[in-house]
Amino acid sequence: MRAYIIRRLLLLPLIVFLVSILTFSLVRILPGDAAVARLGAQAGACQECLDRARQELGLDKSYPEQYGKWFKGAIRGDFGLSNATTREIGPELKKRALVTLQLGTISILFTILIGVPIGVLSAVKSGRPLDYGLRLFSILGLSVPNFWLATLVVYLPVYWWTWNPAKQFKTIGEDPLSHFGLLLLPALVLAISASAYVARITRSAMLEALTSDHVRTARAKGLAEGTVILSHVFRNSLIPLLTVVGLQTGFILGGSIIIEDIFGIPGMGQMAGRAVFDRDYQTLQAVTVITTLTFVVMTLAVDIAYAWVDPRIRY
């Protein structure tokens, strides 16, 4: 196990390097120019201003030179200055990453608390009315886009009760109760589709385990049904469940781009969305690298958890 973890950690810099090159290339394919985005209406009227802005942003240099300068700073934790605001990206990214991490953690908790019980009940009551109702929830959860659901959650309370759930955001230092209270609704919106997917995977895995020989043996020994379900069925369904929860972490991080903007949450998702709009190459590259690191570390944690759940697994 230790050798496997070391190998995975040694591959981490290579993965981040390849992702950074890909991101660097793709953001520059986007139509528009960071210098034009910064100058606005002045860009078309003052060519000298445009040239000066391009020089300040380093866009007058070749692509290899631009990437080399950015990469040297990034490996030291210095992501440079934002093309749009001219402020340092590192401190702002640190604050926003903490908010996104909190949102993602709450969303994953909601995903597990909603999806796993629904999947277990649906499998145990397979073919009964309760099973059909829970499967309907799964289908609806997978079918409804989270950005549409988030829009309804923000708009309908305002329309019906003149209450706006997307209130002014407060940091954890200013008001911890209000801070986490404002994260609950967007986290729940992100968790709806993820929990629906977790429920379907849990149901499928448990139905397969319910028909296995060791479950029939456990029942033949006279074990209580609850013990059979929890110890012999659910535990043997944890491997696919861990896999899907780990994958949903990546989807939640990606989905937070729109959700954070709708609810006015100053996280990495909102930062990335504005960076695309402003052609802020430096910021977008920094957010992508941090997101990649988070996702790779999460998948490594899931792989390690496999061996903990099933001692037969060896790497």
The answer to the question of residue 288 being in a domain is yes
> What pLDDT sits at residue 235?
81
Between the alpha carbon of residue 92 and those of residues 25, 81, 206, 271, the distances in Å are 24, 11, 44, 9
> What pLDDT sits at residue 43?
54
Average pLDDT, the chain: 82
Domain that holds residue 109: 90-309
Band of residue 145 on the pLDDT scale cut at 50, 70, 90: confident
208: pLDDT strictly greater than 60: yes
What CATH number is attached to the domain comprising 117? 1.10.3720.10
> What pLDDT sits at residue 114?
93
- 284, 271 contact by CB (below 8 A): no
Instruction: Give every CB contact of residue 186 below 8 A, 6+ residues apart in sequence.
Output: 103, 107, 150, 256, 259, 260, 262, 263, 265
Domain count, the chain: 1
88 strand-pairing partners: 81
Question: What digits encode the pLDDT tens for the residues 237-266?
Answer: 888 888 888 887 777 777 778 888 888 888
pTM, rounded to two decimals: 0.83
The answer to the question of residue 213 being in a domain is yes
The answer to the question of residue 168 being in a domain is yes
> What pLDDT sits at residue 181?
82
> What pLDDT sits at residue 165?
67
Rounded to an integer, the average pLDDT of 279-285 is 83
The pLDDT > 70 percentage for the chain reads: 92
Going by C-alpha positions, the residue among 192, 189, 191, 207 that lies closest to residue 119 is 207
The answer to the question of residue 71 being in a domain is no
Rounded to an integer, the average pLDDT of 132-149 is 89
**What's the start-to-end Cα distance of the chain, in Å?**
6
Neighbours of 105 (CB within 10 A): 14
Rounded to an integer, the average pLDDT of 52-70 is 80
The answer to the question of residue 121 being in a domain is yes
Band of residue 111 on the pLDDT scale cut at 50, 70, 90: very high
> What pLDDT sits at residue 209?
85
The answer to the question of residue 151 being in a domain is yes
> What pLDDT sits at residue 39?
67
